Amino acid sequence: MKKSIITTVLTLLCTTVFAQTPGYTIDGKAEGTAKGDTVYLCEMQGFFSFVPVDTAIVNKKGEFHFSGTLNGCSYRILVAMHKGENVAMGWMLLEDAPITAQIFRDDKKNVISGGPANALMEEYEAGARKYDEEMDPYWKVCLDTTVAEKDRIKERLIVDTYSEQREEYTKRFMLLHADTPFGDYLLSNVFPKYNEEQQEQVLQLF
* CA–CA separation, 37 and 117 (whole Å): 29
For residues 7 and 14, give the distance between their C-alpha atoms in angstroms, rounded to a whole number.
11
Residue 124 and residue 132 in contact, taking contact as beta carbons nearer than 8 Å: no
- Measured in whole angstroms, how far is the alpha carbon of residue 10 from the centre of its chain? 39
Question: Which distant-in-sequence residues (6+ apart) come within 8 Å of 45 by Cβ?
Answer: 51
Euclidean distance between CA atoms 152 and 149, whole angstroms: 5
Q: Which amino acid is at 171?
A: K
Contact by Cβ (8 Å): 22, 7? no
Q: Give the burial string for 190-199 (b: 16+ CB within 10 Å, else e).
A: beeeeeeeee
Contact 100, 114 (CB under 8 A): yes
Rounded CA separation 58/33 (Å):
7
In sequence order, what are the beta bridge partners of 78?
A: 41, 90
Q: What is the pLDDT along the chain (206 residues), one digit of tens a residue?
A: 444 433 433 343 333 334 445 799 999 999 999 999 999 999 988 777 899 999 999 999 999 999 999 988 899 999 999 999 999 999 999 999 999 999 999 998 999 999 999 999 999 999 999 999 999 999 999 999 899 999 999 999 999 999 999 999 999 999 999 989 999 989 988 889 888 998 899 888 88
